[in-house]
Structure 1
Amino acid sequence: MALASKLCGLSSQLFRNKAFLYSTARCYSDKPMPWSILWKPGVYSEKNHDKIAEKYNLHPKEYKPAPQEECVGDYPDMPMIGPAAKDPYYPYDIPTYRKNYKETVHHHFEIMGEDRFSYGYKYRIDLRLASAIFIAFMLTLFGITYLLEPYPSFMPVMEKQYPQKGKVHYTFESANP
């Protein structure tokens, strides 16, 4: 009985959550159902061009199969645009990946995360220029270190002072007898 009440409480919490309801309705509203086996790349044929484009949610004029050496089957040739290059203010269905449900992605989508190399992102400084600046800076530091090696730096310290034998410097006994 307690298990049933816990399960009913859990289901009522899920249905009160508007984000859960919205994502469920958005994901399962269209046909076919979003099972990955439905989007496995098949064999490309010119006569099924329109059906294949519809399978990947593309217009027939936009659909072009990927080269066979890159991808097997009828998967479309998508541009390499990483999530960092997309609009950050657009209300994506999956904001972590800046992706919408049923959006066709590049077949190397797993290497294009924001924590990896950002394809299509325009950097403020060109990567070659940034690499050249880094190498020049490091060579400058190594050069300064090499040139100043004959002139070591140290902290000046006086020699250790030890108390003389037979002379009492301090005592823990009271001065008044």
Structure 2
Amino acid sequence: MAPMSKLCGLSSQLFRNKAFIYSTARCYSDRPMPWPTLWQPKKYQEKDHDKSAEKYNIHPKEYKPLPQEESLGDYPDLPLIGPAAKDPYYPYDIPTYKKNYMEPVHHDFNIMGEDRFSYGYKYRINLYAGTAAFLITMTILLGISYLCEPYPTFMPMLEKQYPQKGKVHYTFEPNS
């Protein structure tokens, strides 16, 4: 009987704790429940268009499934926009990935990131122009070093200067 009374006392303490109640209510208030099986893509059917849009939290007019060649079922066809292309000052729920809760992600989300190639990011210099400028600069520098190879460089030095020429000023021999 004693363990049962301790257990009842513990449960009554938990239900008096506001943080426990708030976290429990927050966890179980999501509809649909955040289970991975509910989020698995299913075969797309035209009659379930509105249900699929609601499942991925997208307006039915904006929802368009992936082409059937990619065979991901009813997963939405989202644009390739990497985290670096998004607004850096927006208060995201998950600032590391610059995304909000319940926001659908692109099916290739794992290849997009600020530490990887950023799709949709507008670079200051075009990537092709930057690559061409680098190759031209390196070619010019290699050409200059190849043309200057027959003419070695050295540090010019004069002979040591002493106060009087021909006179030994210091030797390491003992005095005799």
Per the TM alignment, residue 68 of structure 1 is displaced from its structure 2 partner at its CA by 2.1
**What SS does structure 2 have at the residue aligned with 1:69?**
helix
* Counterpart check, 1:169 vs 2:158: no
Task: Kindly provide the amino acid, as one letter, of the partner of residue 54 in structure 1.
Answer: E
* Counterpart check, 1:43 vs 2:43: yes
Q: Distance in 2 between matches of 1:130 and 1:65?
A: 37
Go from structure 1 to structure 2 and tell me whether the alpha carbon gap of 1:95 and 1:155 turns closer, same or farther (over 3 Å shift): same
- Residue by residue over 1:88-126, the C-alpha shift from the partner in whole angstroms, topping out at 9 and shown as x without a partner, is 011111000001111001100000110000100001111
Corresponding residue for 2:32? 32
Corresponding residue for 1:8? none
Q: Provide the aligned C-alpha RMSD in A.
A: 2.9
Corresponding residue for 1:95? 95
Corresponding residue for 2:163? none
* Counterpart check, 1:133 vs 2:133: yes
Corresponding residue for 2:72? 72
Contact 1:42 1:74 in 2 (8 A): yes
Per the TM alignment, residue 70 of structure 1 is displaced from its structure 2 partner at its CA by 2.8
Task: Kindly provide the amino acid, as one letter, of the partner of residue 150 in structure 2.
Answer: P
Q: Distance in 2 between matches of 1:53 and 1:125?
A: 38
Figure out how many residues of one structure are paired with residues of the other and give that number.
Answer: 146
Contact 1:52 1:74 in 2 (8 A): yes
Corresponding residue for 1:122? 122
Q: TM-score, normalised by structure 1?
A: 0.73
Q: Distance in 1 between matches of 2:71 and 2:156?
A: 68
**What SS does structure 1 have at the residue aligned with 2:69?**
coil
Corresponding residue for 1:7? none
Q: Distance in 2 between matches of 1:134 and 1:71?
A: 41
Task: Kindly provide the amino acid, as one letter, of the partner of residue 118 in structure 1.
Answer: S
Q: Distance in 1 between matches of 2:171 and 2:135?
A: 62
- Residue by residue over 1:43-89, the C-alpha shift from the partner in whole angstroms, topping out at 9 and shown as x without a partner, is 00000000000000001100001112234211000000000000001
Corresponding residue for 2:63? 63
**What SS does structure 1 have at the residue aligned with 2:152?**
coil
Q: TM-score, normalised by structure 2?
A: 0.73
Per the TM alignment, residue 153 of structure 1 is displaced from its structure 2 partner at its CA by 1.9
List alignment gaps of at least 5 residues for structure 1.
Answer: 1-14, 16-20, 160-166
Q: Which structure has the larger Rg?
A: 2
- Residue by residue over 1:11-47, the C-alpha shift from the partner in whole angstroms, topping out at 9 and shown as x without a partner, is xxxx5xxxxx89x94x764311222221111000000
Contact 1:82 1:118 in 2 (8 A): yes
Task: Kindly provide the amino acid, as one letter, of the partner of residue 130 in structure 1.
Answer: G
Task: Kindly provide the amino acid, as one letter, of the partner of residue 147 in structure 2.
Answer: L
Per the TM alignment, residue 158 of structure 1 is displaced from its structure 2 partner at its CA by 8.1
Q: Distance in 2 between matches of 1:55 and 1:38?
A: 9
